[in-house]
Structure 1
C-alpha cells in the first residue's frame, strides 16, 4: 500500500483532518484534534505510525518484521509500519481502523458524540 492510498483511506474516516506540523514530509491525521496516524511521505521507504494497545503492539511486532516501535513516538502505545509491500493492505487498514477507534474511544464524550453524528 502506498502513502497516498493510506492518506485517502484515513481522510475518509469520520471527522478526520490532516496537517503538516512537522514539515512537508510528515502528514499527521487527526480526529477531533487527536492524532491517530502519521504518514512519512516523500521518502524512499514510506511508513506510517499508528496508535495501538500495548499488548497488541508487542504481538504485532513479534509477528511482522515491518512493524516496529513507533518512530519518534511513545513506543509503548505506537507502532511504525513500513510500507514496503510485505504486509497485506487489509492488515495495514485493520491497524489504521484500530488506531482511529482507539483514539475516538479516548475522546471527551462531547467529541465522541460529534464524531458519531457525522
Structure 2
C-alpha cells in the first residue's frame, strides 16, 4: 500500500503544535508556529526542507531523479518536492517530513516552540 495525501496530512498534523493552513487557494500546507514545514501538493507530492542549502538538498534529487525536484521559488534554500507513489519509499517520505518539521521548529523563537 502506498502513502496517500490524506495519510501524509494526518502525519503532519500529529506533530506537536502543527496546524493546517491554506495560504493560497487550493494549496494546503502544514505549519508549526507561523512557519510552513510541509507543502502538500494536492495529495500527489510534498514539499519539504531537505537541507540548509541547495547542495545538501541536491543529494536527494541525485538519489531519486525521477521523483524529487528542486522546489519552485524556495528551492535555493534547500526545499525539494517529493512525488508520492514513486521510487522514494513511504518510510523515507515520512522521515523527510519529520526532519523538515524538526528543522523548522529549531528556527522558531523558544517562546513559540511547541
TM-score normalised by structure 2 residue count: 0.88
Q: 4+ residue stretches of structure 1 with deviation over 2 A?
A: none
Aligned residue number for residue 45 of structure 2: 47
1:1-118 correspondence runs (5 A): 1-24=3-26, 26-41=27-42, 46-53=44-51, 54=53, 55-65=55-65, 66-71=67-72, 73-76=73-76, 77-112=78-113, 115=114
CA contact (8 A) 1:39 1:49 kept: yes
| Uncovered stretches (5+) of structure 2, i.e. residues with no partner | none
TM-score normalised by structure 1 residue count: 0.85
Query: What count of residue pairs does the alignment treat as equivalent?
Result: 108
Partners in 2 of 1:4 and 1:56 — Cα distance? 28
CA-based RMSD of the aligned residues comes to 1.3
| Uncovered stretches (5+) of structure 1, i.e. residues with no partner | none
